[in-house]
Amino acid sequence: MRRLTGVLATAAVATSLAAGAMAQDNDTRIVVVSHGQASDPFWSVVKNGVDEAQQTYGITVEYRAPDTFDMVQMAQLIDAAVASQPDGLVVSIPDPAALGDSISNAIAAGIPVVSMNSGSDVREELGILAHVGQTEFEAGEGGGKRMKEAGVTKAICVNQEVGNVALDTRCEGFKQGLGGEVEVLAVSMDPTEIQSAVKAHFAANPDTQGVLTLGPSAAEPTLQALEEDNLLGNVKLATFDLSPGVLEAIRDGKMLFAIDQQQFLQGYLPVALLTLHHKYGVMPAGTVMTGPGFVTHETAAQVIDLSAKGIR
């Protein structure tokens, strides 16, 4: 194989978490366009995955995201990435209608595209090579099965954005997995309102045995509400996604589990796959599932440690 000569990246290699690394590869450039800002706790873990893959493979990677959840801006970022003719493009697809054209244009321009985090349903239709992420229905279903194993037959699914297809699907999967009664409790994003809604539900429905929330921003107020009303002894609480508060609650036995989509892999694997694809033309044909992983009492302490390092 032709030897690759190139300038050794200093800072990147010095801070590399990997014990070994490929010789500097100046030939591969990948652009990641995500709807998640690197400052967001969830997305900062994705970005850490991207950064580690970049260091491991010694390639060039650019991470772009709009300042806020703005699909028009995101489509423009994709278009700009395409115009720069990268060797690979990684995208999240929270809104296929808004982003579909830009992605189709990328593929038509001959750019290999791997999607991550969201958009698994549109992969084949758009001609995306592979998807890396968690599928919402299966994740909810897994959560439902776990709750069922814990003895729950009647539960609520707390949804802070009814109408958001991904979140609605999580509740649908949960219902399927539980095989029992599941009511969707529609709430807003306001933690105080979430607390009162949960308390009100249990006042009217004291026989509810389980609660699934769709993220830490709902899990934490829900936990507080259940604690204040002395319901934690009888009610099993679980959530999608991780946060320090969620992990501590699981460690302390106050929450049953969290559904972990291991988003570090959503940053790492697409970069690894597109690097191999650029060099050798190989690519898996399908979806690489990064979730659902389940963090439980047995593993919470380890995950707290990894979470502090930005890996979970």
- Which of 56/159 has CB closer to other proteins? 56
Question: Strand 130-133 relative to strand 88-91: parallel, antiparallel, unpaired?
Answer: unpaired
User: For residue 7, what is the DSSP state?
Assistant: P
How far is the C-alpha of 113 from the C-alpha of 166, rounded, in Å?
22
- Which of 158/273 has CB closer to other proteins? 273
At closest approach, how far in Å is the CB of 286 from other proteins?
A: 5
Are the C-beta atoms of 158 and 222 separated by less than 8 Å?
yes
Give me the 18-57 binding string for other proteins, x by CB under 8 A, dash otherwise: xxxxx---------------------------------xx
Task: Decide if residue 288 touches other proteins (CB under 8 A).
Answer: yes
Site for other proteins in 217-246 (CB under 8 A): 244
- Window contacting other proteins (CB under 8 A); options: 16-24, 151-159, 194-202, 211-219: 16-24
Helix axes 216-228, 191-204, angle to 10 degrees: 50
Task: Decide if residue 115 touches other proteins (CB under 8 A).
Answer: no
Task: Please write down the HEC assignment for all residues of 169-236.
Answer: HHHHHHHHHHCCEEEEEECCCCHHHHHHHHHHHHHHCCCCCEEEECCHHHHHHHHHHHHHCCCCCCCE
Site for other proteins in 253-272 (CB under 8 A): 262, 264-265, 268-269, 272
Sign of the C-alpha dihedral, residues 251, 253, 258, 260? positive
- Window contacting other proteins (CB under 8 A); options: 85-93, 158-166, 202-210, 293-301: 293-301
At closest approach, how far in Å is the CB of 248 from other proteins?
A: 8
* Element (DSSP H or E) covering residue 240: strand 236-240
Sign of the C-alpha dihedral, residues 295, 216, 35, 128? positive
- Which of 202/240 has CB closer to other proteins? 240
Count of positions on this chain that bind other proteins (CB under 8 A): 45
- Window contacting other proteins (CB under 8 A); options: 32-40, 70-78, 206-214, 301-309: 301-309
At 255, the amino acid letter reads M
Are the C-beta atoms of 86 and 31 separated by less than 8 Å?
yes
- Which of 165/283 has CB closer to other proteins? 283
At closest approach, how far in Å is the CB of 112 from other proteins?
A: 12
* Residue 274 CA: distances (Å) to CA of 50, 172, 188, 282: 12, 33, 39, 9
Contact set with other proteins (CB under 8 A) = 1, 18-22, 56-57, 130, 244, 262, 264-265, 268-269, 272, 276, 280-294, 296, 298-299, 301-308, 311-312
